[in-house]
Amino acid sequence: MSAQLIDGKTVALQLRQKIHLEIQQIQSKHADFKPNLTIIQVGARPDSSTYVKMKLKAAEEAAIDCHLISLPEDVTEFELLSEIARLNADINVDGILVQLPIPAHLDETKVTNAVIADKDVDGFGPHNVGELSKKGGAPLFLPCTPKGIMQLLEASNVEVAGKNAVVMGRSDIVGRPVANLLTKANANVTVLHSKTPEDALKGHLAIADIVVAAIGVPNYVKGDWLKKGAVVIDVGANFVDDSSKKSGSRMVGDVDFESALPVASLITPVPGGVGPMTVANLLDNVVIAAKRHYDKNNQTPQFTNPLKLKLEKPVPSDFEISRAQQPKRINQVAEEAGILDSELEPFGFYKAKVSLDILKRLENKVNGKYVLVTGITPTPLGEGKSTTTVGLAQALGAHLGKNVFANVRQPSMGPTFGIKGGAAGGGYSQVIPMDEFNMHVTGDIHAISMANNLLAAAIDTRIFHENTQKDAALYKRLVPAKKGVRTFPISFQKRLQKLGINKTNPDDLTPEEVSKFVRLDIDPETITWRRVVDCNDRFLRGIEIGQAPTEKGMTRKTGFDISVASECMAILALCTSLTDMRERLGNMVVAASRSGEPVTCEDIGCAGALTALLKDAIKPNIMQTLEGTPVFVHAGPFANISIGASSVLADKMALKLAGTSPDLTEEERQKQEGYVVTEAGFDFTMGGERFMNIKCRASGLAPDVIVIVATVRALKVHGGGPEVKAGAPLASEYTQENVELLRAGCSNLGKHIANAKAYGLPVVVAINKMSSDSDKEHDVIREESLKAGAVDAIVSNHWEEGGQGAIDLAKGVIEASNSIDKEFKFLYDTAPSVEEKINIIAKEMYGAGEVELLPEAQKKVELYTKQGFAHLPICIAKTQYSLSHDAALKGVPSGFKFPIRDIRASVGAGYLYALAAEIQTIPGLPTHCGFMNVEVNEDGEIDGMF
């Protein structure tokens, strides 16, 4: 009786057809699903080339995108490992296969181990091999040949459990993994190898129900060694001489087929048995990898690993709380949030930059919910807006299991070392490590300062050289010859386009064109670009430059701004890509020519260099809260001067990471979707208004709910209570119940609620609880909030209890964010004149009776209108301590005259900003400064911060 053949070709064909059909079915719903296999072949061995061609052809037939990277025989190990690392990081690559064998000078184990586990479609890497060998292990991929062997046994209805199985060979490619798979299938497995005596080998084969031969010796196993009725899987692929073949050889297995045929019950032929299964399972593994990657890119990870808080009363200082908590390593925080290792650039253990590639990888996800946290008009003590942002995020993530991001600004070291202190939140709701958060982070503000000041230096240098050189000499130096060839840099090409000069060869310009090109003819009186420093320094508000004798008397009065007020910082906050940032930087208007034409950063030739300085700063930074939920820390535009919001890019990335698959029902989406909690500086009427009219215009996004933070203390101030000063004891009105004073002050809260509702969005009031508050006072705030149109007002004790204290607030925010009663709208259209837009903001948001444009402001309105910038939205820089321009006017002042003393153009950022009254663009230091308490102890830890 002859054995039945196990037809690997037929089984493999069925598997490949199934794979092709599966890909088609997925692509019918998701056109962007494109499985990708990349094969690396080192050298040009004929047998390897044959196998590679076979794999490429099979992949093409299955609609798998397959690429071959051919490397030379003498490639170095470093070069090969670098190529693998590149493919590991490429989100378009699902599977990586290094064609074996590789040249002897390369470490095969090191090379195969370099492929990351979720792209190791060969199944040879340490993760997959290790998991396969473990009891209860879960490899991501099974090695292709062993997987195919088990499929052939299953297709042939071979019962494996309880049977005696002999595996001949112990290679990592076939022998060991197939032995592990047979063991997992409950066979009694014996592994034999080249050192097994032949007598012992025959003895084991004589009782073997299943034989897997993978020893690489042609026709080694004879039929009379086998048990009658054994199932024989021949993995051998050996070539023996055969003059009857055109090639002079033929392929045979490790089993003598002719003698085994009468003995075995089932046997695989060679060729046509196991071989086709290997290729088919490679394709199957690639599709498995692609599905995992696609699912990962479309699913929202749920937060399940919070850090435990050890709450103490009284609450210790912020830095003591921060130091007492052991943070997670930042790569763990990122992984839990759905960020790939290849998208992370660590800066030490607890902070990292995140690649913008996330936006491409997750582009098909539906955004998560977008929560904007703002506040009422604050006191100098602050009312806990950042603390509420962090506490709310901790509640959503650590206690309600939502994927959540808190998106906050990087704090300026000006206020940090001044009187305000840091911006990490406080109590048991803060970003950690708080000292790293408040000092430097990853250096973005330093990069902004350098970029800003490079442009400032370039402006004055250009004026100097234009004043001291004739056209020809100036042109020769601006566009020098390098190795005898002159070319225009990209910035100069853009200037030529602006001038209407359509020439690419610098030698072709006429003298008139050369003059137009080199003469910016900047009017020094119109220069608006100032130098910056990240420090509160009142003595830099007004300075005179050019005092050195080398500057030939070209003195000029100017001043410094604080770094976070730089337009470069606003651009970092508002740009949507590296290309967009480059364009915006080039568009920055720094002055006007004597003829009134705007002079830009592009005209100066500086935009490319500024982009280079900011190319890393554009990547958001990731840190964590005290309870281990992720935080994006990015950009830090000053809140009473600039837009006061963190970056568009951080919000967009977080919304995708917190987003959901487009295939979900609305009910499924609400269960799975995550939340992005971001804040706008100071009160709603400042930060919130700019967030809506400037940031939302730039991003194309709109919040789902607005949270307005209020405190009993601040509302009493607005009800007519005594002045509150930082560092001074609070008056008794603030430490004892006073319902009448509080109710009077709630008018300020009501105004902010009304202002927020003007944008068509639901409003939730967060009552930031303090120990001196009474329940009755909280009830008054809730009553007045509902009367003003808020959907709810919820007491939150996150400062004292962390996320646990903000659970009710989180639930209220979730409910409000899912409200269908919302229709976002801007406060104003951009078409009206500059004066009209300022009037709309001042009258509708602040309550002004009229706007007064002082002479300098009127002059600027005329200039910017003439230059074509009147269509831009408006940012009004004013005091944060009143709805008006006057910090002394508390509550809800109305009918006042609102003075605008100057207007500046932030054309690259995309807005004009008006300076109200005496607002300063660089703060001063107080008598007792925050820096006076800061020390570094013997362990290198920072003491004395907040």
User: Which tokens is 147 given?
Assistant: 């997987």
d(CA 597, CA 599): 6
CA dihedral for 752, 753, 759, 762, sign (positive or negative): positive
User: Which tokens is 758 given?
Assistant: 């003007």
Query: Locate tokens 């250096």: which residue?
Result: 443
CB 253 within 8 A of CB 219: yes
User: Which tokens is 196 given?
Assistant: 């097994």
Strand partners, 71: 42
Is 202 designated active site? no
CB 506 within 8 A of CB 487: yes
Of 41, 94, 99, 672, catalytic: 99
Give, in degrees to the nearest 5, the angle at Cα 932 between 931 and 936: 75
Is 843 designated active site? no
DSSP state for residue 557 in the 8-state scheme = E
DSSP state for residue 188 in the 8-state scheme = E
Of 120, 122, 435, 603, catalytic: 122
Q: What is the largest CA-CA distance in the chain?
A: 111
Is 122 designated active site? yes
DSSP state for residue 836 in the 8-state scheme = H
d(CA 135, CA 114): 25
Main-chain phi, psi angles of 154, to 5 degrees:
-65, -45
CA dihedral for 482, 587, 446, 629, sign (positive or negative): negative
d(CA 371, CA 687): 14
d(CA 105, CA 213): 30
CA distances, 92 to each of 87, 89, 279, 347, 632 (Å): 9, 9, 21, 26, 25
CB 180 within 8 A of CB 253: no
Sheet holding 897-906, edge to edge: 850-853, 897-906, 911-916, 874-877
Which three-class secondary structure state does DSSP give residue 181?
Answer: helix
Across 308-321, b (16+ Cβ under 10 Å) vs e yields ebeeeeebeebbeb
Strand partners, 684: none
| Burial class of residue 329, CB neighbours in 10 A (0-12, 13-18, 19+) | middle
Residues whose CB falls within 8 Å of the CB of residue 493, separated by 6 or more in sequence, listed in order: 504
Task: State the catalytic residues.
Answer: 55, 99, 122
